[in-house]
């Protein structure tokens, strides 16, 4: 996406429009089909039906969108350019793979995919179309298609909150009169079976992919060029600045929600020059949601009238192959019995609530809690570690550290943990 969008022309943008014109209806149709086939009458909930209708409407608009009528000589130029092809840049070995897996799947001559050419699978990638005077039909097609995508993107903005509302409706349906389980069902996270859980995981991941494609195309067509951006992708995303902004936003929400003069302190440990290629809004969103959860836990555990709150720590570590962000708090932790339920769509520690009537508006602000799982991202996430009173602590490293301290300086460790010298509590430790 970065290679394609660095120097967009009317021709390359038209190729991108044609790709989305073919790809997006397929993805939308799959989502409509799955929403229709949700089991256990979940597909009958009003909010779920509303989301299905949005996807169906967007599908219809894309399918009926007129394709451009290009002059024959321009079509011939396209075919010649893509037949001629262009070599791909040199591949960079992945250091996380063992040597026997380092052989690239793509021939760097740009001609074929190794091992797949016999099956007729071809590679399509960006090629230089050369200097061409693009006819008005191309510019008109790009402009109108981008406008259509903007309407679709805006229509689908409240999908996450609307599906969440559908889950709340489903919980009420399960706990309704004459149904087994009574009110307990509304708090039972296991009432959604595995098939629905799997669908929701896939649904939200697909939504992210669709919105990235649409957002990238709109940005390439509408936004002014920026040295650090290719569409919505920032080639130099500063992690410190993103985390700092997420911290400020989360603190503002927390202080406004609980009426605090000053929220819990948040300590950020991150190199100020740490940067990598990413979509900044996605990173900001993930850090913001986790921080919001930590702030709520700390405030509700220690009370809104507490003189001071224990700090929340955001630690960013750069490894040889990845960047890790750890957020830890002293907000009471998660009960061991609930750890396995954290990522289910009907589990929440927040009290039952309903969305505002205008939750489909663009200015809707999600509540302080209750939507964390719906904002889950399809990237590898670290396990949630807990000890009593703390959340997101790496227990293995903690135990290793305690073991090391015990072997080096028992008296100091005992004083830190219990405020007593070793001799006074020796029997207690031995037990």
Lowest mean pLDDT among 131-140, 255-264, 346-355, 416-425: 416-425
Whether pTM > 0.75 for this model: the answer is no
**Phi/psi at 124 (nearest 5 deg)?**
-115, 125
Contacts of 389 (CB under 8 A, 6+ apart): 301, 330, 332, 333
- Residue 67 pLDDT grade (very low, low, confident, very high; cuts 50, 70, 90): confident
Nearest to 123 by CA among 105, 136, 111, 131: 111
Average of per-residue pLDDT across 174-200: 63
Q: What is the DSSP letter of 178?
A: T
Task: Report pLDDT for 186.
Answer: 45
> For residue 289, what are its two tokens?
């949601």
> For residue 86, what are its two tokens?
């262009």
Residue 328 has pLDDT above 90, yes or no: yes
- Residue 306 pLDDT grade (very low, low, confident, very high; cuts 50, 70, 90): very high
Nearest to 146 by CA among 229, 85, 216, 69: 216
Task: Report pLDDT for 195.
Answer: 75
C-alpha 37/C-alpha 202 separation (Å) is: 14
| % of the chain surpassing 70 pLDDT | 63
Residue 86 has pLDDT above 70, yes or no: no
Lowest mean pLDDT among 85-89, 173-177, 353-357: 85-89
Tens-place pLDDT, residues 16-36: 898 899 999 999 999 999 999
Task: Report pLDDT for 308.
Answer: 94
Q: What is the DSSP letter of 328?
A: E
Residue 93 has pLDDT above 60, yes or no: no
Q: Average pLDDT, whole number, for the chain?
A: 76
Angle separating helix axes 194-222 and 136-155, nearest 10 degrees: 140
C-alpha 284/C-alpha 364 separation (Å) is: 18
Lowest mean pLDDT among 1-5, 14-18, 210-214, 401-405: 401-405
- Residue 378 pLDDT grade (very low, low, confident, very high; cuts 50, 70, 90): very low
Lowest mean pLDDT among 51-60, 291-300, 389-398: 389-398
295, 264 in Cβ contact below 8 A? yes
Residue 174 has pLDDT above 70, yes or no: yes
Task: Report pLDDT for 57.
Answer: 98
Task: Report pLDDT for 384.
Answer: 58
Domains of the chain from N-terminus onward: 2-86+127-158+190-229 (1.20.140.20), 233-393 (3.30.565.10), 395-431 (no CATH)
Residue 110 has pLDDT above 50, yes or no: no
Residue scoring higher pLDDT (100 or 223): 223
Residue 241 has pLDDT above 90, yes or no: yes
Task: Report pLDDT for 418.
Answer: 47
Residue 64 has pLDDT above 60, yes or no: yes
Task: Report pLDDT for 366.
Answer: 54
C-alpha 113/C-alpha 270 separation (Å) is: 41
Q: What is the DSSP letter of 312?
A: E
369, 293 in Cβ contact below 8 A? yes
Average of per-residue pLDDT across 232-255: 95
C-alpha 15/C-alpha 75 separation (Å) is: 12
Average of per-residue pLDDT across 135-145: 89
C-alpha 186/C-alpha 172 separation (Å) is: 6
- Residue 82 pLDDT grade (very low, low, confident, very high; cuts 50, 70, 90): low
C-alpha 200/C-alpha 205 separation (Å) is: 8
- Residue 394 pLDDT grade (very low, low, confident, very high; cuts 50, 70, 90): very low
C-alpha 122/C-alpha 120 separation (Å) is: 6
Residue 107 has pLDDT above 60, yes or no: no
Residue 122 has pLDDT above 50, yes or no: no
Residue 74 has pLDDT above 80, yes or no: no
Task: Report pLDDT for 72.
Answer: 80
Residue scoring higher pLDDT (74 or 38): 38
Residue scoring higher pLDDT (127 or 123): 127
Task: Report pLDDT for 85.
Answer: 54
Residue scoring higher pLDDT (79 or 153): 153
Q: Which stretch of DSSP H or E encloses residue 28?
A: helix 10-36
- Residue 398 pLDDT grade (very low, low, confident, very high; cuts 50, 70, 90): very low
Lowest mean pLDDT among 70-74, 109-113, 331-335: 109-113
Average of per-residue pLDDT across 53-82: 84
Alpha-helix runs per DSSP H in 91-228: 136-155, 159-174, 194-222
Lowest mean pLDDT among 19-33, 261-275, 313-327, 364-378: 364-378
Residue 196 has pLDDT above 60, yes or no: yes
């Amino acid at each position: 996406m970065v290679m394609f969008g660095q120097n967009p022309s009317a021709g390359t943008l038209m190729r991108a429009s044609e790709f989305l014109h073919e790809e997006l209806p397929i993805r939308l149709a799959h989502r409509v089909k799955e929403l229709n086939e949700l089991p256990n009458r979940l597909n009958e909930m009003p909010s779920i039906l509303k989301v299905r209708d949005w996807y169906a409407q967007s599908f219809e608009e894309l399918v009926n969108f007129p394709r451009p009528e290009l002059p024959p000589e321009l079509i011939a130029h396209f075919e010649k350019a893509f037949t001629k092809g262009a070599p791909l840049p040199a591949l960079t070995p992945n250091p996380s793979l063992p040597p026997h897996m380092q052989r690239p799947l793509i021939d760097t001559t740009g001609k074929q995919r190794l091992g797949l050419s016999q099956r007729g699978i071809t590679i399509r990638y960006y090629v230089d179309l050369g200097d061409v005077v693009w006819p008005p039909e191309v510019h008109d097609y790009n402009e109108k298609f981008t406008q259509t995508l903007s309407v679709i993107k805006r229509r689908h903005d409240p999908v996450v909150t609307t599906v969440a509302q559908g889950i709340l409706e489903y919980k009420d349906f399960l706990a309704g009169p004459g149904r087994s389980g009574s009110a307990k069902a509304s708090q039972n996270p296991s009432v959604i079976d595995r098939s629905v859980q799997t669908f929701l995981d896939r649904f939200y991941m697909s939504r992210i992919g669709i919105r990235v494609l649409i957002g990238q195309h709109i940005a390439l067509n509408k936004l002014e060029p920026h040295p650090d951006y290719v569409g919505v992708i920032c080639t130099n995303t500063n992690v410190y600045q993103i985390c700092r902004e997420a911290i400020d936003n989360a603190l503002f929400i927390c202080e406004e929600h609980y009426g605090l003069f000053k929220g819990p302190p948040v300590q950020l440990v991150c190199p100020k020059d740490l940067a990598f290629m990413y979509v900044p809004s996605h990173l900001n969103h993930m850090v913001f949601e986790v921080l919001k959860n930590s702030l709520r836990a700390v405030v509700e555990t220690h009370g809104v009238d507490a003189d001071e709150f224990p700090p929340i720590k955001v630690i960013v570590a750069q490894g040889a192959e990845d960047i890790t962000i750890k957020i830890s708090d002293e907000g009471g932790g998660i009960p061991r019995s609930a750890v396995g339920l954290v990522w289910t769509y009907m589990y929440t520690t927040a009290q039952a609530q309903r969305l505002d009537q205008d939750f489909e508006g663009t200015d809707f602000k999600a509540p302080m809690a209750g939507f964390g799982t719906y904002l889950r991202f399809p990237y590898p996430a670290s396990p949630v570690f807990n000890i009593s009173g703390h959340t997101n602590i790496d227990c293995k490293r903690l135990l290793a550290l305690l073991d090391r301290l015990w072997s080096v300086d028992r008296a100091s460790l005992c004083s830190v943990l219990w405020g007593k010298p070793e001799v006074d509590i020796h029997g207690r430790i031995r037990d």
